[in-house]
Amino acid sequence: MRDELKEIAARIQELRTILDLSVEEVAQRVGCPADEYEKYETAQIDIPISALYEIASALETDFTVLLTGEAPRMSTQTVTRKGEGLAVERYPGYDYSSLAFNFAGKEMEPMLVTLSPETDPPRPVMHGGQEFNYVLKGTVCVNIGGKDYLLQEGDCVYFDPTRPHSQRAVDGEATFLTVIKE
């Protein structure tokens, strides 16, 4: 995961340089302190998924470009077969698989998320847009704004992700589909 983080950080720094933007300008667009943003670019700290979306927007590029270094190619449809999503490892205990990574100009980001049982609750995150979570396997505790919602297979939640939120597996591994519209 550390090598992946370094590659993403290098792509971010390269795009910022190409656009002739300062660290401070991009940090302001992303909505984080300049010193924190600089640590993203130098791979000193992990980059939250929500920050990657904001950085992609600030650099006027697609989320997929930051993750893979390649632009999405499809504009009318894209098919992702079981097990062939783009793996994104951002937080301990969370394994993301981007399901529409090859679709250009997408307005939503569907991802399959597998949660490992953790003893420590995950740090809440916030981002713009809207978010939908649908539990496919196991039990997921979704915390939104300090309130816990226990979701089992077939349950779902649609919410405003500008409120602090997190998900964690309950009683073993759990998998859910998340669709994020920034």
pLDDT digits (tens, 9 = 90+) for 93-109: 778 888 998 998 888 98
Closest CA to 175 of 117, 123, 120, 130: 117
Closest CA to 94 of 5, 176, 164: 176
Mean pLDDT of 31-41: 93
Closest CA to 8 of 54, 64, 50: 64
* pLDDT over 70 at 89, yes or no: no
With pLDDT > 70 as the criterion, what percentage of the chain qualifies?
97
Q: Which domains does the chain have, with CATH numbers?
A: 2-68 (1.10.260.40), 86-181 (2.60.120.10)
* pLDDT over 80 at 119, yes or no: no
Assessment of whether the complete model's pTM goes beyond 0.85: no
Residues 43 and 28: their CA atoms lie apart, in Å, by 19
* pLDDT over 80 at 2, yes or no: no
Query: Which pLDDT score, from 0 to 100, does residue 3 have?
Result: 81
Residues 122 and 72: their CA atoms lie apart, in Å, by 31
Q: What are phi and psi of 48, to 5 degrees?
A: -60, 150
